[in-house]
């Protein structure tokens, strides 16, 4: 392989790797009142192989889902990765190409995370929060 082709291939690989790692997580945060229940939501979705446009659409759709239930849209912050420590995570990288991280769930809500993760064919991990 000619040296110039090797160098350009390595450069292209580095650029594509940098692009693939940029903004690969979205943090969703909102405070809302749903039917008299106050919710303080802080969840993060880590991209695990989804196309960038599809990932952004998923984040925006989840942000707007709160609106359909009468609350304000969740604030979206795009990050390179989801923050640690976390309360729990559900790894859907094999099925849905995402990993969900949870941070501010009540004891009742947290208790249901493991079973709902299993129903969605994810792998549940309890965090340290």
Which residue spans within 1-129 are E strands per DSSP?
25-34, 37-47, 75-79, 88-91, 98-102, 123-126
pLDDT at 79: 95
pLDDT at 50: 92
- For the cut 80, the answer to whether the pLDDT of residue 109 exceeds it is yes
pLDDT at 59: 95
Tell me the pLDDT band of 9, cut-offs 50, 70 and 90.
Answer: very low
Give residue limits of the domains in the chain. 23-126
List pLDDT tens digits, range 14-56. 222 333 444 599 999 998 776 777 778 899 999 999 999 999 9
* Encoded tokens for 21: 């790692």
For residues 99 and 90, give the distance between their C-alpha atoms in angstroms, rounded to a whole number.
Answer: 6
* Residue among 20, 124, 128 at smallest CA distance from 83: 128
């Amino acid at each position: 392989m000619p040296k110039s082709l090797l160098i350009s291939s390595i450069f292209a690989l580095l650029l594509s790797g940098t692009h693939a790692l940029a903004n690969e997580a979205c943090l969703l945060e909102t405070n809302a009142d749903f039917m008299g229940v106050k919710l303080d939501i802080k969840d993060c979705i880590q991209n695990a192989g989804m196309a960038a446009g599809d990932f952004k659409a998923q984040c925006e759709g989840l942000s707007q889902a709160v609106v359909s239930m009468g609350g304000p849209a969740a604030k979206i912050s795009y990050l390179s990765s989801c923050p640690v420590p976390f309360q729990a995570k559900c790894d859907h990288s094999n099925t849905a190409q995402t990993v969900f991280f949870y941070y501010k769930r009540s004891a009742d809500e947290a208790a249901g995370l493991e079973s709902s993760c299993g129903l969605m064919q994810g792998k549940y991990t309890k965090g340290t929060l």
